[in-house]
Structure 1
Amino acid sequence: MIFKSGRYSGYIRPLSIILDLVIIHLLAKSFFIDKIHFLNYILFISLSWVFISIKSNFYEVYRFTQLIKIFSLIGKQVVLFGLIVFAFFGFYYDLEKAPLEVIKYILIVFVIITLVKLTIYFLLKKYRTLLGGNYRNVVILGLNQKTDQLRKFFIDNSDYGYQLQKTFNFDTHSNIDIENVFSYILENEVDEIYSSIAELTEEQIQQLITFADNNLKILKFIPDNKEIYTKKLDFNYYGYLPIISLRTIPIEYPFNQFIKRAFDIIFSLFIIVGILSWLTPLLGLLIKIESKGPVFFKQKRNGLDYKEFYCYKYRSMKPNPTAHLHQVTKGDQRITLVGKIIRKTSIDELPQFINVLKGDMSIVGPRPHMVSHTHMYAERIDKFMVRHFIKPGITGLAQVTGYRGEVETDEDIINRVKYDIFYLENWSLLLDIKIVFQTVYNALKGDDKAY
């Protein structure tokens, strides 16, 4: 099983946002006698706070973020927050609040928020140092002045949560085979690979990129004069040492995770309560009348970090022993009459909103494959494993651009992987909404590959 550990917590930042808003609104309560004005303030400030936080990256604080950066974020946020608070009291001028009183409120809010933010930051550091939690296993490829700096950084800064397992020397005397390095990484459950570009040949760099993509390993480069061919590079500092990440995955940012998960929960609850609650009994009756067997069909699929889960669908085929092995083909005799209708309109996929609510899937993401097919494609199709960096989806970019349904040739799955990687690297909530609308439109007009 290919598995990845040591992920950044997806809960810390959403909880920080909620805590900050509670502080803001509790301290503001004394300003208002009229409940309507107070509710208006809560709504306006909450929406504005979330918006400016996204724009200012106020909650994008990581284990390698320096204190000076945190104070810089706080300074920017206090100015923006001050502007929106004065904008509110300027609009509701009848509240007659003195400017000094408002300024005092803003400063008190930010003193408390700063203390909370720093407390969380230092508690996480202590948690990593004293209890060894929230850590990542890392290796360094190459031995030179820069990699030695990074090695010392990891050793001297245990509060960052990196555990250096080994440094590999690739000079002409060491004769290290890169395949042995890959075996070590897999055997020791290494999470992140840090590589010096100068120490590796172009061929080795390409092998390393391919290995990292196909085995769900985070790959980062220590830059020098050699060029890395990639669409996007993410640039950060560990101490004073510049580090380049091979791929930026927007959904990995905790605030984006919060936004996407909130969208998933709200949308799936709407579908489950508004549609599945009455459609399931009616459709279940028709399915039962036509053929014996359960109303729902469940099948093991691979999801986030390659973990297996049961994917739910309305049963559209007669019960058969090959359902978990062979894809549906055009004119497949296993499909029932009811099954033809619900598959053509994609209604059979609706129970997957239960998977979304459970957290196994997202509304939009790479479509999950049967476990047997996933193993096959992982061996045959380059970068296929990259799809498992994020949750699979009910629909996806590949599906709305013509690559849904049966995989007839390798070209189909290669193009599907390309679109999935593009989605992974360019995610936004607007892109998700666009894909959802396109999916509904395709279902209504009919899709040639929906069978």
Structure 2
Amino acid sequence: MEYRRGRFSWLLRPFLISYDLLIINAFAYYFFNFNDSELYFFSYEFLNDKHLLYLFYSVVTWLISTYLIKFYKVYRYTSLLNIIYLLLKQFLAYIIVIYAFIGIFRSLEIEAILVFKYLIVCFLCIAVVKLVSYYVLKSFRAYLKGNVRHVIIIGKGENAQKLHKMFTTKKNLGYILEGYFYDAKTQDGSVADSFKFLDSNPNTIDEIYCSIDELTEGQVNKFVKYANLNNCNIKFIPNTKQLLTKRLKADYYGYLPVLSIQEVALNDEFNKFLKRAFDVVFSLLIIVFILSWLTVLLFILIKLESKGELFFKHKRNGINYKEFNCYKFRSLRQINKDDEGYVKKDDKRMTRIGKFIRKTSIDELPQFYNVLRGDMSVVGPRPHMLSYTDAYSKKVDIYNFIFRHNVKPGVTGLAQVSGFRGEIETDQDIIGRVKFDIYYIENWSILLDIKIIFQTLTNVVKGEEKAY
């Protein structure tokens, strides 16, 4: 999600949309004498009002075409050339739209040359206002210091230095550089100092730019968490020699690529509501009809065999690397911190009841409390223990690993039902797991969630090789 704090420039977009719709309809009334032509296309009289019909057609087709072309997606770093390109694309698209209207309603008898004159006048008016607003905003940022973004840069790579130069020299972009941090000591300090700076200046930084190839997974983790907690945007500066990943959205500041976490269908507001509603209902059913009596039974059996708590909780990374306590029924005799790690086959720490509940995945059921709390989802990428997150990131493309943490973790997931559950024995285990997690995030649907849940139940009944 793109965060904006204290900005009023967002009002410009609805103004431009309203202005453009007014222009294309006002000039249509001026150029086209609809009253001289008969139209009997519809059986309802009000739809045979030619001005009303064109108004409806133009508004719908304009909004659809501009959305597909991203005509109003103009940002402070968008170049003049890109704006001209958008104008030309929309002009060509609307030529097709208008001539299609004339072709469908042949009885209108409007000359083709008149339509072309109409389009030229409309787009000249639209282009002038679009360009004027573009330059007015630039002047507003450069001379009146308004509509600015407070940013910091982390890293000393070639692209980080180029971005530093751009922010400090091009005042009309409206970026105020509050700090420039990298490992070698500078006037501003090191990467470690950047965290102190952020902590001492909460809610003042709008964007963090990280040279991702220079940072460890732990450092990226901390920046992502800070950005999420403080509603600021985090962007990544890639190595120029590296191919850009499709997992992250690429914007170009001039010729300099800057990456940000890609919006996915799973994080759409409606889809988040739909998935959350499903999670709440499903977790309540499990808690009321299964955990209500199973917890009492397991409390007796676990306590009879070994000392210790009924539940085992441990820290895991959730959405945007947020840490949370993940709950399981205790299946081991030893739960010391030194012994924390994946359970191996024939693990000596395991109790007899522990073997059974792990084999049947019953030990995972308390995680439905995590689902109800909002830390987890019923289906999603499985959360890793904190001690393993940094190690796994070294085995996987870092962009994919960050993308994986863009959604809530799940009690079950596509990777788990596809054979990548339990202990990580080889690099291929974690690579395969992340590959399926990415596929799930990019192709999510409620039907896919239901399919994974049924597959999980099937695997529990059949038994799994790595369920130990």
TM-score between the two structures when normalised by the length of structure 1: 0.57
Q: Are 2:191 and 1:185 aligned?
A: yes
Aligned to 1:198: none
Matched, 1:403 2:416: no
User: Relative to 1, partners in 2 of residues 1:397 and 1:433: Cα closer, same or farther, differing over 3 Å?
Assistant: same
Query: What percentage of aligned pairs have identical amino acids?
Result: 18
Q: Which residue matches 1:215?
A: 219
Question: Contact 1:317–1:336 (CA<8 Å) still a contact in 2?
Answer: no
* Structure 1 residue 65, shift from structure 2 partner: 1.6
SS in 1 for 2:443: helix
Distance 1:362 1:122 in 2: 42
**What residue number does 1:286 align with?**
293
Deviation for aligned residue 1:309: 3.2
- Aligned counterparts of 1:124 and 1:399: Cα–Cα separation in 2: 54
Partners of 1:212 and 1:407 in 2: CA distance: 24
Instruction: Using the TM superposition, give the Cα deviation of residue 374 of structure 1 relative to its aligned residue in structure 2, in angstroms.
Output: 1.3
What residue is the counterpart of 2:152 in the other structure?
Answer: 137
Q: Which amino acid aligns with 1:165?
A: G
- The answer to whether the 8 A contact 1:214-1:382 is kept is no
CA–CA distance in structure 1, aligned partners of residues 93 and 143 of structure 2: 33
Indicate if the aligned counterparts of 2:152 and 2:180 stay in contact, CA closer than 8 A: no
> Are 2:318 and 1:303 equivalent residues in the alignment?
yes
Task: State the Cα distance separating 1:88 from its structure 2 match.
Answer: 8.8
Q: How many residues align?
A: 386
List aligned pairs for 1:1-400, cutoff 5 A: 8-9=2-3, 53-54=67-68, 56-58=69-71, 60-70=73-83, 72-73=85-86, 76-77=89-90, 80=93, 122=137, 130=145, 134-138=149-153, 141=156, 150-158=163-171, 159-161=173-175, 163=177, 165-166=179-180, 184-189=190-195, 191-193=208-210, 209=213, 211=215, 213=217, 215-216=219-220, 219-220=236-237, 223=240, 227-228=241-242, 237-239=252-254, 242-245=255-258, 252-254=261-263, 256=264, 260-273=268-281, 275-292=282-299, 300-311=315-326, 316-317=329-330, 322=335, 325=340, 327=342, 333=352, 335=354, 343=362, 353-354=371-372, 358=374, 366-369=381-384, 373-378=385-390, 382=394, 387-389=401-403, 390-394=406-410, 395-396=412-413, 398-400=415-417
Deviations 1:312-350 (A, max 9, x none): x6x645899939955566665464978865649x76655
Pick closer, same or farther for the CA change 1:243–1:297 going to 2, 3 Å: same
Paired with 1:400 and 1:230, the residues of 2 have a C-alpha distance of 30
CA contact (8 A) 1:272 1:354 kept: yes
Unaligned runs of 5+ in 2: 25-44, 199-207, 224-234, 301-308
C-alpha change, 1:295 and 1:83, in structure 2 (3 Å) is farther
Q: Distance in 1 between matches of 2:432 and 2:334?
A: 28
Distance 1:78 1:397, change over 3 A: farther
In 2: Cα distance, 1:238 partner to 1:296 partner: 51
- CA offsets 1:30-49 (integer angstroms, 9 cap, x no match): xx968xxx9xx99xx88995
Q: Deviations over 1:57-107 (max 9, x none)?
A: 44654442224424543553465477668879988x79x999999x89xx6
Note the alpha carbon deviations across 1:91-146, whole angstroms, 9 max, x for none. Answer: 8x79x999999x89xx69x969x87x969x94998599847864331156368xx9
Is the 8 Å Cα contact of residues 316 and 336 (structure 1) preserved in structure 2? Answer: no
Cα displacement (A) at 1:376 = 4.5
1:443 paired to 2:456: yes
Aligned-residue CA RMSD (Å): 6.3
How many angstroms apart in 1 are the aligned matches of 2:283 and 2:93?
44
One-letter code aligned to 2:425: T
Deviation for aligned residue 1:285: 2.8
CA distance in 2, matches of 1:321, 1:429: 39
- Residue identity opposite 2:191 in structure 1: I
CA contact (8 A) 2:280 2:371 kept: yes
Q: Pick the structure with greater CA Rg.
A: 2
Question: Structure 2 CA distance, aligned partners of 1:361 and 1:333?
Answer: 29
CA distance, structure 1, for counterparts of residue 458 and residue 16 of structure 2? 44
Alignment partners' CA distance in 1, 2:139 and 2:359: 53
Displacement of 1:446 in angstroms is 0.4
Higher relative contact order, chain-length normalized (CA < 8 Å, sep 6+)? 1
CA distance in 2, matches of 1:57, 1:253: 16
1:347 to 1:291, Cα distance in 2 relative to 1, 3 A:
closer
Deviations 1:286-332 (A, max 9, x none): 22441459999875422344322355x6x645899939955566665
Write the deviation string for residues 193-219 of structure 1: whole angstroms up to 9, x where unpaired. Answer: 56xxxxxxxxxxxxx726355531755
| 2:319/2:408 contact within 8 Å kept | yes
Verify the 8 A CA contact 2:379 2:453 in the aligned structure 1.
no
Q: TM-score by structure 2 length? A: 0.55
Match in the other structure for 2:36: none
Counterpart AA for 2:297: E
DSSP-derived class of the 1:64 partner: coil
- Separation (CA, whole Å) in 1 of partners of 2:266 and 2:450: 22
Gapped runs of 5+ residues in structure 1?
A: 1-6, 169-177, 195-207
Q: Give 1:184's aligned amino acid.
A: S
Distance 2:267 2:317 in 1: 23
SS at match of 1:419: helix
Larger mean CA deviation between 290-299 and 63-72 belongs to 290-299
Residue identity matched to 2:322: K
> Contact 1:317–1:339 (CA<8 Å) still a contact in 2?
no
